[in-house]
Amino acid sequence: MIRLEKRPTPSQAWTWATPVLAVLLTMLAGGLMFALLGKDPVAAIKIIFYDPLFNPQFAAYSRPQLLVKAGPLILIAVGLAMGFRAGIWNIGAEGQYIMGAIFGAAVGLAMYPSDSWMIFPAMVIAGAFGGFLWAMIPAVLKVVFGTNEILVSLLLVYVAEKLMAAMALGPLRNPEGGGFPGSRNFQGYPAASNPELFPNSGMHWGVVAAIIAVIFGYILLSRHLMGYHIRLAGQSPRAARFGGVSPARLVIFCLGFGGALAGLAGIFEVTGPAGQITTSFNTGYGFTAIIVAFLGRLNPIGILLAGLLMALTYIGGELASFMLGLPSAAIQAFQGMLLFFLLGVDVLSNFRIKIGREGHA
């Protein structure tokens, strides 16, 4: 018989090996899915993982896009990882991302057409505050009333989407847009735009912020008392309470930190690649960042690598849809397989497989 035997301590080797194994299993299962759709599985996997980086026909466009896509994923995932490690489940980063974009965009549009250098920094601060404020709703409700932060943060995503549509059709709508929904395009508003810092590099201030967040997150977790409290609360909530860790303070910090980073991702996106507030501004970065956080083992350095990998599947998926005619739903399912297999094989970190009779194992 085959059974699982709990390890005395989690296996560090399997902890870092399981993401690699999950990626390989995703390739196999994804290849099978593509074959069932009547597509060449080898060609599909090659287009998704190889061509965007190494095929000269696509690399000139795809390589800069890697940073453009990875920036918001990494920024949001670092914030989420802090809460996840403490057992605080912020599932509503998508809503916080949207509110960060709305708050920041509103500040910039209110100052139009000023060319002051202070506009963009003010927008960044407002974006972070918008995400923080939205995250405080589930935080305060959890601390005061003991509500479930998973449900509250998730439901607030749909509220944020409705507010975004209302803003695009109402107060933030471009008065010179002929009545069409959507704000002014920030790429035509230099004081409020977020262009590439180096031509054809994909590097903008959002990518810089993501790198800073990785460094800050690593230092916080490994060198700061709050990081110790986060790790302790996640490993042993009872020991954390005996050790003087304040659950309320931890909830406020983790949800607030995650919300602020998601809000930053939103304002950097709306002033950069997206360009404007529209009724369909959000593209699911807040939800995909959950996969990135777990694929990176809730470690900021791992999240950096996982964010680049997930960005590669975004770019390669778009390329595969164009080249092979794969439906977008198949690409989304392929990305979801990463989290599915990661959670599945992650059991090997805490359990070892035993084969044989129980009495003779």
Query: DSSP characters for 113-141?
Result: T---TTHHHHHHHHHHHHHHHHHHHHHHH
CA distances from 88 to 30, 149, 181 (A): 31, 8, 37
Residue 274: both structure tokens together: 């997206």
Give dist(CA 173, CA 88) in Å, integer.
36
Contact 33, 340 (CB under 8 A): no
Q: Which residue has the tokens 């059991």?
A: 347
Please name the residue ranges forming H helices in 203-284.
Answer: 205-223, 225-235, 237-242, 247-270
Q: Beta 351-355 vs 2-6: how paired, if at all? A: antiparallel
Give pLDDT, residue 357: 65
pLDDT tens, position by position, 36-58:
999 999 999 999 999 999 999 89
Domain ranges of the chain: 70-300
Give dist(CA 53, CA 79) in Å, integer.
28
CA dihedral (63, 98, 343, 330) positive or negative: negative
Q: Which residue has the tokens 């795809």?
A: 62
Q: How many residues does the chain have?
A: 361
Contact 47, 328 (CB under 8 A): no
- Flag residues of the chain having pLDDT under 50: 360-361
Nearest to 300 by CA among 221, 209, 206: 221
Peptide bond just before 113 cis, omega within 30 deg: yes
135, HSE (Cβ side, Cα atoms, 13 Å):
35
End-to-end CA distance of the chain: 10
| 3 state SS of 144 | helix
Contact 326, 315 (CB under 8 A): no
| 3 state SS of 288 | helix
Nearest to 318 by CA among 305, 332, 301: 332
User: What amino acid occupies position 259?
Assistant: G
Give dist(CA 200, CA 196) in Å, integer.
7
Give dist(CA 329, CA 321) in Å, integer.
10
Contact 296, 305 (CB under 8 A): yes
CB neighbours of residue 196 within 10 Å = 17
Give pLDDT, residue 361: 42
Percentage of the chain exceeding pLDDT 70: 98
pLDDT tens, position by position, 165-189:
999 999 999 999 888 999 999 999 9
Give dist(CA 231, CA 260) in Å, integer.
21
Residue 2 φ/ψ, nearest 5 degrees: -110, 130
- DSSP code of residue 146: -
